[in-house]
Amino acid sequence: MHSNNTGRRAWLAAMAAGAGCALAMWGVAQAAYPDRPIKLVVPYTPGGSTDQFGRALADGMSRQLGQTVVVENRPGAATMIGTNSVARAPADGYTMVLATNGSMVLNPMLYKKITYDPPKDFKIFSIGAEVPLVVVTNAQVPANNIREFAAYARSAGGKLNYASVGLGNALQLATEMLKTELGINVTHVPYNGSAPALAALLANDVQLMVDVVSTSLPHVKGGKLKALAVTGRTRLDVLPNVPTVAESGYPNFQAATWFGLAVPAQAPADAVARLQAAASHVLKDPQFRSTFNALGLIVQQPRSQAEIDRYIEADREHWGKVIRANNITLD
Would you state the pLDDT for residue 25? 44
Q: What is the CATH number of the domain that holds 262?
A: 3.40.190.150
Is the residue at 3 inside a domain?
no
For residue 76, give its domain range.
38-131+258-326
Examine the domain organization and report whether 147 and 103 are in the same domain: no
Distance CA(127)–CA(131), nearest Å, equals 11
The total number of structural domains that make up the chain: 2
Examine the domain organization and report whether 48 and 196 are in the same domain: no
Angle between helices 49-65 and 286-293 (to 10 degrees): 180
Examine the domain organization and report whether 112 and 149 are in the same domain: no
Distance CA(201)–CA(189), nearest Å, equals 11
Q: What is the CATH number of the domain that holds 167?
A: 3.40.190.10
Whether the full predicted model's pTM is greater than 0.85, yes or no, is no
Would you state the pLDDT for residue 322? 82
Examine the domain organization and report whether 127 and 142 are in the same domain: no
In the listed set 230, 250, 284, which residue is the last one of a domain according to the structure?
230
Examine the domain organization and report whether 125 and 155 are in the same domain: no
Give the phi and the psi of residue 23 in degrees, each rounded to 5: -65, -40
Is the residue at 247 inside a domain?
no
Examine the domain organization and report whether 141 and 224 are in the same domain: yes
Examine the domain organization and report whether 71 and 139 are in the same domain: no
In this structure, the chain runs to a length of 331
Examine the domain organization and report whether 124 and 189 are in the same domain: no
In the listed set 212, 230, 248, which residue is the last one of a domain according to the structure?
230
Q: Are 124 and 301 in contact (CB under 8 A)?
A: no
Angle between helices 146-156 and 170-182 (to 10 degrees): 80
Is the residue at 26 inside a domain?
no
Q: CB within 8 A of 26, min separation 6: which ones?
A: none
Tens of pLDDT, residue by residue, the chain (331 residues): 554 555 555 555 555 555 544 444 444 445 589 999 999 999 988 887 889 999 999 999 999 999 999 999 998 888 999 999 999 999 999 999 999 999 999 999 998 889 999 999 999 999 999 988 999 999 999 999 999 999 999 999 999 999 998 777 888 889 998 998 999 999 999 988 788 999 999 999 999 999 999 889 999 999 999 999 999 888 998 999 999 999 999 998 889 899 999 999 999 999 999 999 999 999 999 999 999 988 888 999 999 999 999 999 999 998 998 888 877 777 6
Is the residue at 62 inside a domain?
yes
What burial class does residue 25 get, using C-beta atoms within 10 Å of its C-beta: 0-12 exposed, 13-18 middle, 19+ buried?
exposed
* Position 180, amino acid: T
Examine the domain organization and report whether 273 and 299 are in the same domain: yes
Is the residue at 4 inside a domain?
no
Is the residue at 250 inside a domain?
no
Is the residue at 9 inside a domain?
no
What burial class does residue 68 get, using C-beta atoms within 10 Å of its C-beta: 0-12 exposed, 13-18 middle, 19+ buried?
middle
Examine the domain organization and report whether 205 and 160 are in the same domain: yes
Is the residue at 321 inside a domain?
yes
- CA neighbor of 135 nearest in space, from 41, 208, 54: 208
Examine the domain organization and report whether 117 and 263 are in the same domain: yes
Would you state the pLDDT for residue 170? 86
Examine the domain organization and report whether 155 and 199 are in the same domain: yes
Would you state the pLDDT for residue 13? 52
- Bin 271: left if φ > 0, else alpha if -120 < ψ < 50, else beta: alpha
